[in-house]
Amino acid sequence: QVQLVESGGGLVQAGGSLRLSCAASVSLGAMGWYRQTPGKERELVAAIISSSGRTKYSDSAKGRFTISGDNAKNTVTLQMNSLKPEDTAVYYCSAGVLIPNEFWGQGTQVTVSS
Q: What is the pLDDT of residues 16-52, one digit of tens each?
A: 999 999 999 999 999 999 999 999 999 999 999 999 9
- DSSP, residue by residue, 30-90: EEEEEEE-TTS--EEEEEEETTT--EEE-TTTTTTEEEEEETTTTEEEEEE-S--GGG-EE
CA 77 – CA 68 distance, rounded (Å): 5
Average pLDDT over residues 84-105: 96
Of the pLDDT bands very low, low, confident and very high (cuts 50, 70, 90), residue 5 is very high
CA-wise closest residue to 108 among 48, 94, 96: 94
Identify the CA nearest to 92 among candidates 1, 14, 9: 9
Mean pLDDT over each residue of the chain, to the nearest integer: 96
* Beta-bridge mates of residue 100: none
pLDDT at residue number 107: 97
Whether the per-residue pLDDT at 102 is higher than 90: the answer is yes
Q: Say whether 111 sits in a helix, a strand or coil.
A: strand
**At 1, is the pLDDT very low, low, confident or very high (cuts 50, 70, 90)?**
confident
Closest CA relative to residue 24, chosen from 97, 102, 107, 94? 94
- pLDDT at residue 75, as a whole number: 96
Q: Are 75 and 28 in contact (CB under 8 A)?
A: no
